[in-house]
Amino acid sequence: SKGWHLHGCLFSLQVLAYNRHTYATVSQRLIITVIPAPGGDPPYQGEFLVGNRNVEELLPVVAREMFLQASAGVWERGDLQVINITSALDRGGRVPLPIEGRKEGVYVKVGSHSPFSPCLASAVSPQSRFRCSLGQQPLASCYDTFAPHFSIRWCNLTLLQVWPSPTTPGPVWGSGVLEDDGGFQPPTEVAPQDLLPGFLVTLLVPLAVAVLLCLLLGHLMCCRREGV
């Protein structure tokens, strides 16, 4: 599952899937209509790494609702929505070993129109990043409402504050008919130029070189012969 972000368009998507155990493949073409989110894109976005899930396990609506409820507990807000779901393999993660039911890992991006909670802000603070570099858990003052269904890698938490970019006004189109302002006036006037010197140089210089070569060749062939 790749991350993409489109608005107000209709496109066709062909999905190719395979069975992990039998390696059987199946394809299906989906027609997807993307419409703008109500109220615009959420400016506050947080991306969580779920270590005990595969990407297909978080695609169903029920699983996403459970994740949003768990996110609301640490975000302390209720207007959350899932923005993107990406497999950890697409971010450079390694394929897990087929033992102990290990999962690939999933990045889930959640957005809100409300600011981040103090718990999330402390989890990405420099002190928390330093603890993560030592192999310790980051600072988090809130209760982990994701457990036991979702195992969050808190050291991989990313918080983004995205503001809509200002749109520049486009060109103003006229009626397509020129206004009657008299005759056309060129922007600049070009002074007349004398092209005769350039013409003579271009013509006479190669001619003079050719005459000299002919004289030199004639002198070598006629006047430098043995016995003359």
Q: Using one digit for the tens of pLDDT, what is the confidence trace for 196-228?
A: 888 888 999 999 999 999 999 888 888 766 655
Q: Does domain 39-161 have CATH number 3.30.70?
A: yes
User: How sure is the predictor about 179, in pLDDT bands with cuts at 50, 70 and 90?
Assistant: low
Q: Is pLDDT above 60 for 7?
A: no
Phi, psi of 60 (to 5 degrees): -60, 150
Average pLDDT over residues 123-146: 85
User: How sure is the predictor about 148, in pLDDT bands with cuts at 50, 70 and 90?
Assistant: confident
User: How sure is the predictor about 4, in pLDDT bands with cuts at 50, 70 and 90?
Assistant: very low
Q: Using one digit for the tens of pLDDT, what is the confidence trace for 69-87?
A: 999 989 888 889 899 999 8
DSSP string, 159-190: EEE--PPPPPP-PPP--S-----SS---SS-P
Is the torsion defined by CA of 16, 1, 50, 93 positive or negative? positive
Amino acid identity, residue 149? H
Q: Is the peptide bond before 148 cis (omega within 30 degrees of 0)?
A: yes
